[in-house]
Structure 1
Amino acid sequence: MPTRVLPHVDPYTPAPPPTEDLEYADLPIIDLSIAATAEGRAELAAIVRDTMKTSGFLYAVNHGYTPAQTKRIFDIANVPFDAVKNDEKGMYAGDIKGAGSYLGYKLRNYWHIDNGVQDQIEHYNINPDVNRKPHPQALRPFLPEIEAFIEHCHVNVVHPIVRLLALGLEMPEETLVNILKYNAQNESWLRCMKYYPRSDEEEEKTKNVWLKGHTGNVTVLWSQPVAALQIMSPEGRWKWVKHIDNALVINIGDALEFLSGGIYKATIHRVVQPPPSQRGYARLGVFYFAMLDNDVVLKPLEDSPVIKREGVRRERLPEQGKEPTMDEYRKARIRAYGQSEVKKGGSGVDTQYLEGVLVKHYN
C-alpha cells in the first residue's frame, strides 16, 4: 500500500527554553504505556489518586505520539494564526456569548483582564466532528490529521486517565469513560492558542497576569517551551510548570472535582508574562478539553466507597439538589468568562456565582 503524502505545512519554530532558575512545581510523571495492563493501572491509579487529591496536575509520557508527530501538530496549530488573514478570521469567529461555545476563533481583545486591559490571546477551536463548522481555507487540508489527533487525545489519553481516576475512587474502571464518551455529539474541543506579547503599560496594569487564575475542565496540554503557566501549590504559592519535551500536562478540572465529592481537586492555574529571557516571543499552545456527556448531572458519585468513607467536601461543590448538568455548567462558564461582572475581592480574588457554583478568579 502506498504511503500517504501529507500536505505541506510551514514549520513553526518555538522559543528557546528559559534561562532563568524558576521555582517549578514538583509534579509526578506517569508512563501511559504502563496502563496497558491491569497491574500497571493499579500502580498508576495510586499515583494519580494521591496527586489529584493535592496538586491536581501531572505529566504524562509515552502517550503514543512521537516527537516528530507532535512537532507536526504544532506546525498545523500555527496555521490558523499565521496563514489566515484577520478579515477571514472574523468570518469564522465563534458565537461565544450567544451559544456558549468556543468553536471557531476567539479573537484578541475579547476578554477583559484587569484595569481596562483586554487580552492579547487568539485561539481556534475544533470539535471532534471536524465538519460541524466550516474552517478557513488554509486549515482544510489538515482536517484528516486533526480529526485523528482529537480522537487520539480523547481515546488514548483522556480515557486511560479517567480509568485511573475511577480506580482511585474504588469504582469500576469504565465508570467515568461511560459518561465521557467519544462520539459525534461530544462537546469537547481541540484548541490551538496563541498568546502575543503585550506592552509594558498593559503588563503594569495587569500585574503581568495574562490569564487570571481559574479552574477548568479535563485538560490535556501538550507541553511547549515558553514558561508562562503557573499553578497554585497546596501551600498557597504560585509555581511554574516546567516544559518537558513531548510530554503532556494533565489537569482534571471542575466536573471531576464535583463528581468525586471534592476528593479530587480542580487546581487553580494562571498564565503570566514569561521570564525575561523569553519576552518578545509568542506562546503557541495545543490543548484538548474533554467534556462529560451533556446530560451528566454534576453531583458526587455516591456509590464510590471512597466518597462514602471520606465524606463529601462541599466547599466548591454546587448546592445540593440544584446541581447543573455538564451542558448547563459548560455554557455558563464560557458565556461569562471575561464578559460578565464579578465581585472584586480585597485579597485579589474576584468571585461570581454560575449555575449555583461559586467561581473564583485569581489575580
Structure 2
Amino acid sequence: MPSLTIPQTPRYVPAPPTKENLQYADLAVIDLSKAATAEGRAELAVELRDALITHGFFYIINHGYTQAQTEGMFDIADIPMSQVPEDEKRAYAGDSLKTGIFQGYKPRQYWHIDAGVRDQQEHYNCNRHVHSLLHPQALRPFLPDIDAFVRHNHHNIIHEICRLMALSLELPEDTFVKLHDFDAPGGSYLRFMKYFPRSEEDEVQTKNVWMKGHTDIGSITLLWSQPVAALQIQTKQGWRWVKHIDNALLVNVGDSMEFLTGGFYKGTIHRVVQPPIDQRGYTRLSMIYFSFLNDDVKLVPITGSPVLERVGVERRCEDDVAPTMKDWRVARISAYGAGGLQKGKEPGIEEEVLNGIVVKHYN
C-alpha cells in the first residue's frame, strides 16, 4: 500500500456531485472482497458475465484502497497539471500520433474532435514501470505512491478481474492473468487526465460532445470514479449517464478482449459530453488504468472455452491476418484524434480502417 505522505501540495478539491435529474445507466456493483474465496469468485464470475453482457460497464467496490487513500491519489493526480510549469511540460511531452505510445504529456488541443474543434483535455501518461523513465520535478517525491498504485491496479484488481473473466468462460483461472504479465513487453499504463471547460462556440460546433463514442483499445479499463458527470455509455435505450459512487471503480472491456472472446464480451461504447449545468465551471480530474494484453498476443478467439463453443464466436478478421496486441495498440493510438474519419454506412457513425479492420466512432 502507498504511504501517501504528501509534501506541501494543495489538496485537489473536486466538484460537488450534480443535483440534476439525469438518466443514469443501471450498472451492477461487484464487491471484490468476495473474490478471496473460491465460492466468492464463482459467484462473482456470474455477476461479471451478466454485467458485461448487459451493459459492458460495472462498478467495483472494496478494491483495497480506502477513501482517504483514493483522495490522496487524486491529490497526486492533479500535480502534473497544476504544479508543473508549461515549459517543463513541453520537455516531457509525448507524441502519440507519431509513436503510437501514450507516454508523458498530451497537451490540450492535440486532438481533433469535430467540426474543426480541438480537445480541451490534458493527460499525463505514466508507464506501468514507473521508475523506468524520468518525470517532472514536482511529481518525483510521489513516485513511490504512484508505483504502489499502479501495481495495486494491475496485480490486485486487473488480475482479479482476469480470474473472474476466465471462470465466466469456464476456463482455468490463470488463463487471462498469463496474458497480462506485468513484466512482459506490453502497453499497460496509468493516466492522470484533466478536462477543462470549453467555449460556448465549441460546444455548439460539437453538439456538446467532448470525446466521441468509442471503444477502448486494450483489454480492461479501470476508471476511478469522480463526481463530475460527463461519461455516458451506449445502451439499448440510448446514451445513459454514469453515476458517481464514492471510492468505487468503473470497469469496462476494450477491443482486445472482444477479439479474444469472439465478440462474447464486446468493447463497450462510451463517450464524454459537457457536464450538467451545475458542474460546468469545474475541471474534471480522472485517474485511469488502461490494461493491455502482452504485446505478442495474437488477437484471435481463445480456444478451450465451453461457453464460447456453445454460443459460437464472431471474428472481426480472419485469424491468419489478425493483428498482435502491439500492432493494434500502435495502429489505434497513432490514428486517434488525427481527423481521418469517414462517414459510415450507419447514421451518426464515422469509420476508419486499421489493419484491415473497421473501427467505428459514434456521435
Quickly name the TM-score band, shorter chain normalised. Answer: over 0.9
Deviations 1:17-74 (A, max 9, x none): 0010100000000000000110000000001011112210000000000000000000
Question: Matched residues in 2 for 1:132 and 1:110: separation?
Answer: 25
Residue identity opposite 1:268 in structure 2: I
Deviations 1:68-101 (A, max 9, x none): 0000000000000000121211110113122210
* Partner of residue 46, structure 2: 46
Question: Matched residues in 1 for 2:98 and 2:25: separation?
Answer: 37
Secondary structure at the counterpart of residue 78 of structure 1: helix
Question: Matched residues in 2 for 1:227 and 1:4: separation?
Answer: 27
1:1-363 to 2 correspondences below 5 Å:
5-183=5-183, 185-216=185-216, 217=218, 218-233=220-235, 235-314=236-315, 317-345=316-344, 347-363=347-363
Residue identity opposite 1:178 in structure 2: K
Question: Matched residues in 2 for 1:75 and 1:213: separation?
Answer: 29
TM-score for both structures, normalised by structure 2: 0.96
Deviations 1:289-332 (A, max 9, x none): 01100000011012111111111123xx2333211000000011
Secondary structure at the counterpart of residue 263 of structure 2: coil
> Residue 178 and residue 252 in structure 1: after superposition, are their counterparts in 2 closer, same or farther (change >3 A)?
same
The Cα of 1:159 is off from its aligned counterpart by 0.6
The Cα of 1:187 is off from its aligned counterpart by 1.8
**How many pairs align?**
358
CA contact (8 A) 2:233 2:239 kept: yes
Residue identity opposite 2:228 in structure 1: V
Which runs of no fewer than 5 residues in structure 2 stay unpaired? none
Question: Matched residues in 1 for 2:101 and 2:339: separation?
Answer: 16
Question: Matched residues in 2 for 1:5 and 1:194: separation?
Answer: 23
Question: Matched residues in 1 for 2:158 and 2:244: separation?
Answer: 20
CA contact (8 A) 1:319 1:356 kept: no
Residue identity opposite 2:286 in structure 1: G
Question: Matched residues in 1 for 2:131 and 2:110: separation?
Answer: 25
TM-score for both structures, normalised by structure 1: 0.96
Residue identity opposite 2:334 in structure 1: R
CA contact (8 A) 2:196 2:284 kept: yes
Question: Matched residues in 1 for 2:207 and 2:339: separation?
Answer: 21
Question: Matched residues in 2 for 1:144 and 1:330: separation?
Answer: 28
Question: Matched residues in 2 for 1:191 and 1:105: separation?
Answer: 10
The Cα of 1:353 is off from its aligned counterpart by 1.1
The Cα of 1:341 is off from its aligned counterpart by 1.1
Secondary structure at the counterpart of residue 343 of structure 2: coil
Deviations 1:132-154 (A, max 9, x none): 22111111110110000000000
Which runs of no fewer than 5 residues in structure 1 stay unpaired? none
Residue identity opposite 1:223 in structure 2: S
Question: Matched residues in 2 for 1:319 and 1:286: separation?
Answer: 36
Secondary structure at the counterpart of residue 149 of structure 1: helix
Secondary structure at the counterpart of residue 202 of structure 1: helix
Secondary structure at the counterpart of residue 320 of structure 2: coil
Question: Matched residues in 2 for 1:174 and 1:9: separation?
Answer: 41
Question: Matched residues in 1 for 2:207 and 2:234: separation?
Answer: 17
CA contact (8 A) 1:128 1:184 kept: no
The Cα of 1:121 is off from its aligned counterpart by 0.6
CA contact (8 A) 1:17 1:225 kept: yes
Secondary structure at the counterpart of residue 129 of structure 2: coil
CA contact (8 A) 1:128 1:183 kept: no
Question: Matched residues in 2 for 1:42 and 1:257: separation?
Answer: 22
CA contact (8 A) 1:128 1:186 kept: no
CA contact (8 A) 2:162 2:177 kept: yes
